[in-house]
Amino acid sequence: MPGSRVARRRRYLVCEPRHFAVRYAINPWMHPDRPVDVSLAQRQWRTLIDTYRDHGHTVETVRPEPGLPDMVFAANAAVVVEGRVFGSRYLAPERRPESVPYEAWFKAEGYDVQHPESVCEGEGDLVPAGRWILAGTGFRTTREAHREVQEFFGVPVIGLTLVDPYFYHLDTALFALDEENVAYYPEAFSPGSREVLARLYPDAVPATREDAMAFGLNSVSDGRHVFIAPEATGLAGRLADRGYVPVPVDLSEFHKAGGGIKCCTQEIRS
């Protein structure tokens, strides 16, 4: 079965954690009194970038800006579909300035950027998944933003309600494995959203709360390789049983801010 999974080369946008810190608390993972080892975070981040490149992927970088400790979480900055960029409007005032350098980067690369009218946190809550975009709400991105995204891209948007504050963004509770399937933690979603996911993805790879709390669902897949937190051993085993190849990458220092592999990775879909 592993031979049946095909990797597709991806283009990722990232930001060096030069100014990474936990200076405020906007999710249950963040504790400003808990020390952050910036040197360790930089080493972990560099390992992630090297791993992407070792697997044939292109990695672009945005310059980090002083005073923006969460700018390393590039996924929140936008969602890109077929070369069109829908930017971000953050809920937390502390993060709102992050949209400026990211939008400037995209514009310098020749992209037109649509800035949201409603709160919208990029790939944190918007997961392109083949024929549609899965869209989270409940803690950050609003349903009004879901409508904006559908109008902008002309792609059906499937709204999903998150109910557990530890999984405040969709990308902490679900990720796309390929164009046809996903992995997710059912209990992170409302009952109706669980039914929607069961109908859309009857063969989805389920995750336990232990997997999810280890940031196992904050993963990145190229269709064959799944870059995943090493602590999510149960989920990694189930993925391997389905023919995917887990690639463990430790980003544990970023867990202190509620982030992981996917949070640090924006996919540029041309």
Q: Say whether 186 sits in a helix, a strand or coil.
A: helix
Residue 31 annotated as catalytic:
no
- How far apart are the two ends of the chain, measured CA to CA in Å? 29
Q: Which residues contact 124 (CB under 8 A, 6 or more apart)?
A: 73, 75, 76, 136, 140, 141, 169, 170, 171, 263
Active-site hit among 15, 120, 263, 264: 263
Residue 15 annotated as catalytic:
no
The Cα–Cα gap between 126 and 90 comes to 14
Active-site hit among 169, 225, 255, 264: 169
CB 185 within 8 A of CB 231: no
Distances (CA, A) of 207 to 188, 233, 238, 239: 10, 10, 9, 10
Catalytic residue numbers?
169, 263
